[in-house]
Amino acid sequence: MLKDRANKIVERPLTPAVLDDIGVLGAFPSPGKGPDRLYRIWLCHGFYGQLNLDAGYLKLTRGEPSTDGSFSLTVLQKQVNWEGIVNHIDARIECAADKLSTPIRWEYTSIFSDRKGADIPALSAQISGRRDGSEVIVTRDGKETIIKSQHGLSADWCIFDAVSRLTASDLPLEFDLMEGLTILKPGQNLRHLGRTRDGKISSGAVLNGIVQTGTGVLPWEYWLDDTKRLCAAISGDRTYILDDKAVEIFDGELAKHREGGYSWQNKL
């Protein structure tokens, strides 16, 4: 990305073509046969360069299916705030072998650590949940909350898994969303978005899009390559980018935050 564009306002919604123009996509990793998918979490603050941030990473691990086809989805996500405070999410989800990778039961832990890496107990959360017919039961601090769900059910990270198996005949698809495995957002819809408008991006990939819209959420766009790998997921200023160096990039960014490596930190 040219330095003379660093302070230029993007003025367009984020799409693969726009991300390519900004210079953050690059070439996607070669398709692998392992169970892991690693994504870099990148934030755009409205400019081509200024204040944009590699804010974290997401690692998804899909377990081997059981005899009934259900499988485990293990989630590890880390995100850094400007002050060097890190949110660490661990989750294990048992998913059904259906179009939405429906969460059957799950365990979720969220921990924040301060600039020195010490945990902040007051900001931690341990949550479990399960689906029982049309009810979703969420337990936090020993208290159960029962939520009604009238449609198919999915969750943020389950959608990341499910979109790779959806076909044109599956769409449009209506469902309810357990956002962050904690809050029900009803009336979601997945539909086909088409191919990247400008054809191939500079890496040579041609991406096919699926868009999610619904109650109480910003739209999400899921972009898959011709092997049906999820290569990018975009919502608002946030993009998840398939990148096998995501952990290494995050560790470098975290060191900058905690060691005062950004110019704005020296002015605080």
Domain-by-domain residue ranges, the chain?
A: 3-28+35-258
For residue range 92-146, list pLDDT tens digits in order: 999 999 999 999 999 999 999 998 999 999 999 999 999 999 999 999 988 999 9
Share of the chain above pLDDT 70, in %: 92
Average pLDDT, the chain: 90
CB 54, CB 39: distance < 8 Å: no
Burial class (CB in 10 A: 0-12, 13-18, 19+), 3: exposed
DSSP-assigned states of every residue in 56-76: EEEEEEEPPP-TTS-EEEEEE
Does position 266 have pLDDT exceeding 50, yes or no? Answer: no
206 close to 197: Cβ distance less than 8 angstroms = no
Interval 4-63: pLDDT, tens: 677 888 888 999 989 988 888 888 888 876 778 999 999 998 888 777 889 999 999 999
The predicted structure's pLDDT at residue 35: 74
- What pLDDT sits at residue 8? 85
Tens-digit pLDDT profile for residues 191-208: 998 886 554 576 677 899
Mean pLDDT of 176-188: 96
Task: Note if the pTM is more than 0.85.
Answer: yes
Phi, then psi, of 128 in degrees rounded to 5: -130, 160
Q: Is 108 exposed, middle or buried (0-12, 13-18, 19+ CB in 10 A)?
A: buried
